[in-house]
Amino acid sequence: MFLITGCIDAIQKDSGSIKIAITKTNDYYSALVERNGDNTEWVNLYGLQIDSAIIVLQQCDGLLVTGGEDVYPGLYGKLYDTARCEGFDRYRDSLELASIAIALEKKMPVFGICRGLQILNVALDGTLIIDIPTDFDTLVKHRFNDGKKCFHVVTTVPNTLIYKLSNVFTDTVNSAHHQGIDHLGNGLKISAFAGDSLPEAIEWANRNNKGFLMATQWHPERLDPDHPLSKNLAVAFLHEAEVYHQNQ
C-alpha cells in the first residue's frame, strides 16, 4: 500500500504534466508516449490492485490499452472455445475492463493497440474471432510464428478519424495477432481494413457527447516513428489528453 500511495502522491504533485495511464507497458509503449508528447508522463497500471489502479487512473488524462495475451473468451460468450486460445491473464482482463469503463464514463481519451482494440470491442459487447487462420479464410498473414516482422497493407475508410489524422488511404503496417473482431461492439465503426476485409481499426460511429476513442490492430509503437499511422495517431491521442487535462 505504501508504494501505491507514493505513486498516487507523485501523480498529484505536478498538475502541469499530461499523464497517461498504460494498462501494461514495455519500452515501446512508453517510448510512443515520450516521443510524441511534450510535458507528458506515463504510469503503468499493471501490478496494482484494481481498486488502486482505478484511483491512479482517475488522476490521469488518457488511457493507453496495450497488446498482449488473448482476451478470455468467456467474456464474450465463447467459453466453449477456450481450448483454441493461447493463454490468458484474467487479472489483466479485469484490470482493463474496469479501466475502460471508468475512462469511458469520464470521457477520457482512450487509445487501444492490438489486444487493446480487442478488449475495447469486448467491453462494448462485441465478440472476437478465436483463431484467424482457422475461422477466417484469408491469404493475408496477420502474424508470423516468431510474432515479429509481419507486415501487410491496410486501407482506411474515408471520412473516418483514422483517415483524417493520417491522410493515408492505403499503407503498410505491422501485425502480430491471431484473433480479431467478429461482431462489432456497440457504438463503434470500423475505420480501416486489411486486404482480406478483417477490421484493422475502430472508433466511435458517432462521437457526440463521448470522449476520444481510437484503436488499431497494428502496432504503432513498433512502426517507424514518423509513419503517419503511428506518429499522427499518437500525437492526436496526446493532444486530446492535453485538452482533457485543461478541462478538469
- Mean pLDDT of successive 10-residue segments in the chain (248 residues)? 38 72 97 95 98 98 97 96 92 98 98 98 97 84 73 95 97 92 98 94 96 97 96 98 96
Q: What is the pTM of this model?
A: 0.93
Per CATH, is 2-7+20-246 categorized as 3.40.50.880? yes
User: Bridge-partner residues for 154, per DSSP?
Assistant: 171, 194
Please identify every residue annotated as catalytic: 114, 219, 221
Q: What is the pLDDT of residue 15?
A: 61
From the list 187, 162, 2, 38, the residue with the least C-alpha distance to 100 is 187
Handedness of CA 194, 218, 203, 65 (dihedral sign): positive
* Domain range list for the chain: 2-7+20-246
Q: What is the pLDDT of residue 36?
A: 97
Q: What is the pLDDT of residue 148?
A: 60
- Residue 219, sorted as left (phi over 0), alpha (psi -120 to 50) or beta, turns out to be beta
Q: What is the pLDDT of residue 142?
A: 86
Q: What is the pLDDT of residue 136?
A: 87
